[in-house]
């Protein structure tokens, strides 16, 4: 798996990390991430999916409903959130690879309240794997890696590979959260 620690520690940018990658690397990196998430939830039950963990630092500035902004996220919530973010990055990356100018967001998220079973979490992860792989099939043989956009002056230009691994970076940023939810849920069950 990619090691995003150097990016989080500001020792390297995402663009620098992406500079050694090719489009051929992306399916394997996707599989590693999905397999890691599936491994983290392997021993979970339906009760663990709806378990509300203790998370005193819970804050979601982007919550659709402001009253949900300080809710601790359930396992189902984190799974639908991470998969939606990575799928958005994959979709935007496919457009960039095809030469389409960046035009904004491309996000769709399953309502987290509807994910109440561990089987739904596994299905959501496998569906996300399939969707991410499908997005990579949309890339032309010679992707337009020179097609970039710059969301702000303090962020380096983003091309298709960079956009795709930003989704993996977001996934990576939630791995510890998933592990902690699972730990707390299993402790309550024990």
As for how many domains the chain has, the answer is 1
Stretch 77-93: mean pLDDT: 97
| Domain that includes residue 141, residue range | 5-189
Rounded to whole angstroms, how far apart are CA atoms 22 and 61? 34
Q: Read off the pTM.
A: 0.93
71 band by pLDDT with thresholds 50, 70 and 90 = confident
State pLDDT tens for residues 28-45: 999 999 999 999 999 999
CA max distance for the chain = 53
The yes-or-no verdict on residue 60 having pLDDT over 90 is no
Q: Which CATH number do you get for residue 153?
A: 1.20.120
Model confidence at 190, pLDDT cuts 50, 70, 90, reads: confident
Reported as a single tens digit per residue, the pLDDT across 103-113 is 988 888 889 99
**Are the CB atoms for 93 and 170 separated by under 8 Å?**
no
Binned at pLDDT 50, 70 and 90, residue 138 comes out as: very high
Full DSSP string of 95-152: HHHTTPPP-S-------GGG--SHHHHHHHHHHHHHHHHHHHHTS-SS--TT--B-SS
Mean pLDDT of the chain: 93
**The pLDDT of residue 65 is above 80:** no
In angstroms, the CA 6 to CA 68 distance is 32
């Amino acid at each position: 798996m990619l090691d995003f620690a150097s990016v989080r520690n500001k020792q390297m940018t995402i663009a620098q990390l992406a500079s050694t990658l090719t489009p051929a690397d992306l399916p394997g990196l996707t599989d590693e991430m999905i397999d890691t998430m599936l491994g983290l939830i392997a021993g979970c039950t339906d009760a663990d999916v709806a378990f509300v963990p203790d998370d005193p630092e819970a804050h979601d500035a982007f919550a659709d409903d402001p009253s949900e902004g300080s809710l601790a996220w359930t396992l189902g919530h984190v799974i639908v959130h991470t998969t939606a973010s990575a799928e958005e990055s994959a979709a935007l990356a496919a457009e960039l690879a095809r030469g389409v100018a960046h035009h904004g967001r491309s996000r769709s998220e399953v309502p987290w309240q509807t994910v109440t079973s561990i089987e739904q979490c596994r299905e959501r992860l496998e569906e996300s794997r399939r969707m991410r792989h499908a997005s990579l099939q949309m890339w032309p043989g010679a992707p337009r890696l020179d097609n970039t956009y710059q969301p702000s002056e303090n962020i380096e230009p983003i091309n298709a590979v960079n956009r795709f691994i930003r989704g993996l970076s977001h996934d990576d940023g939630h791995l510890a959260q998933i592990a902690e939810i699972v730990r707390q849920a299993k402790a309550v069950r024990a």
